[in-house]
Structure 1
Amino acid sequence: MSGMRTREPGEVFGPRMTLFADVLSIGLATALTCLPLLTAPAALSTACAVLRGAGEGRPATAGRYFALLRQRLRAGDFLAGAVALAGVLLCAADLALAGAGLPGAPLFAVVAAGIGLGAAVVGLRACARPESLTDWRDAVRAAARDAVRDPGGSALVLLALVTAALCAWMMLPLAFLAPGPLVLAVTGVDVRHAAARAGREDARETA
């Protein structure tokens, strides 16, 4: 976040440590908001918007997170949550069937896991898109394009997702803090890709 201020005289913690604390508090708020499951996409999208605002000088606090969340919850957000939940349940059912010893189960499990991880990456990148605050369809379409055009960023999102899942699996209390670093990673990937895209457009205009 290039717009962060420098440490003031006598200040114990610098801006980077303050941002780290804010990320943890937003992660906890996001985890609590995700508990109803249907609110998970809106919760992650709002967290990305708050962290994106930190680079523009706006406060990245749990208070601003809940204020923004109250302003944007709508029927489309709950529909997006229902679609995400249905996808997770379908993927879990497919993997359970693959583990039942059916013919071709190993290959089917690999394919199902690959599709599930790909959908998760696109879904997370959609949450990081600014369009997700108003239109999930546009956000998902843009995220799908980004996932293909920016494979490096998609790999980073997948790595962040796997890391968060492993942390939550190894120590259950970390499940309530893992969304913060995950959202920070996803937002960073989207900001970097947007900056690269803007740079390419400027280069084409000046050519």
Structure 2
Amino acid sequence: MSAPQTREPGEVFGPRLTLFADMLSVGLATAVVCLPLVTAPAALSSACEVLRGGVAGRPATAGRYFTVLRRRLRPADLVAGLVALAGALLCAADLALARAGLPGAAPFAAVAAAIGVGALVVGLRACARPESRTDWRAAVRAAALDAVRDPGGSALVLLAVVAAALCAWMLVPLAFLAPGPLALALTAVGLRRAGR
């Protein structure tokens, strides 16, 4: 029988639920910050940074999340958000045009969907990179290399996105908690890659 787990002074949850609770609070804060849409890359990148700090023993709380986010919001983060939003709208428009019955629509839709999925994986992996805090271009280049060199990690990122989307689809209020598990999965994939 194992020794009973004790709580630290001021700890609301037991030691086994601390990361789970921190992930949910950071996820909720991330969802609120993502509402303007153009802040989504900065919000997700900040969540990954806070959760990565939790591995190093720093507290992964919503308060620390807002401190990290406040320190890092800059014009480059908003440009990254605009690029991500424009890419998503372009992919949606391409797929809508493909459904309109144009000649060659089926192969075009498959290619557009593959490009969109690849861009999504690279974008999410870029958010999890430490370089995203200061240089989005370097983060995207490193994430593209990671996506090619680590296809298993890319598959895990896709599974995390599918799981977050399914949770939000099944129960709409869960959409506000979905960024937390997604950020945790991105952080874990990044740490898995760094640990090799």
TM-score range, shorter chain: over 0.9
Report the secondary structure of 1:16's partner residue: coil
Q: Which residue of 1 aligns with 2:60?
A: 60
- The superposition leaves residues 75-116 of structure 1 with CA deviations (integer Å, 9 ceiling, x where unpaired) of 100000010000000000001001111112122111111111
Determine the structure 2 residue equivalent to 1:134.
134
Cα separation, 2, equivalents of 1:31 and 1:104: 38
Is the partner of 1:38 in helix, strand or coil? coil
For 1:103, the equivalent position in structure 2 comes to: 103
Counterparts of 1:41-52 in structure 2, within 5 Å, are 41-52=41-52
In structure 2, the gaps of 5 or more residues are: none
CA contact (8 A) 2:167 2:175 kept: yes
- C-alpha RMSD of the superposition: 1.5
TM score, norm. by length of structure 2 = 0.94
* Conserved? CA contact 2:6–2:15, under 8 Å: no
Q: What aligned pairs does 1:155-166 form with structure 2 within 5 A after superposition?
A: 155-166=155-166
Which of the numbers 5, 18, 21 marks the counterpart of 1:7? 5
Cα shift at 1:188: 0.1
Distance 1:179 1:143 in 2: 19
CA distance in 2, matches of 1:12, 1:141: 41
- Which residue of the partner structure matches residue 150 of structure 2? 150
Distance 1:75 1:13 in 2: 38
Gaps of 5+ in 1: 1-5, 197-207
SS in 2 for 1:101: coil
TM-score, with structure 1 as normaliser: 0.89
> Who is 2:114 aligned against?
114
- The 3 A distance-change label for structure 1 pair 29 and 101 is same
Q: Who is 2:167 aligned against?
A: 167
Does structure 2 retain, via aligned residues, the 8 Å contact 1:7–1:13?
Answer: no
User: Residue 89 of structure 2: SS of its match in structure 1?
Assistant: helix
Matched-pair contact (CA < 8 Å) for 2:7–2:13: no
Comparing 160-169 with 122-131, greater Cα deviation is found at 160-169
- The equivalent of 1:187 in structure 2 is 187
State the secondary structure of the residue aligned to 2:60.
coil
CA distance in 2, matches of 1:97, 1:148: 29
Following superposition, the deviation at residue 12 of structure 1 comes to 7.8
Q: Is residue 7–residue 14 contact of structure 2 (8 Å, CA) maintained in 1?
A: no
Counterparts of 1:114 and 1:81 in 2: how far apart (Å)?
21
Counterpart in the other structure of 1:76: 76
| Local SS of the residue matching 1:8 | coil
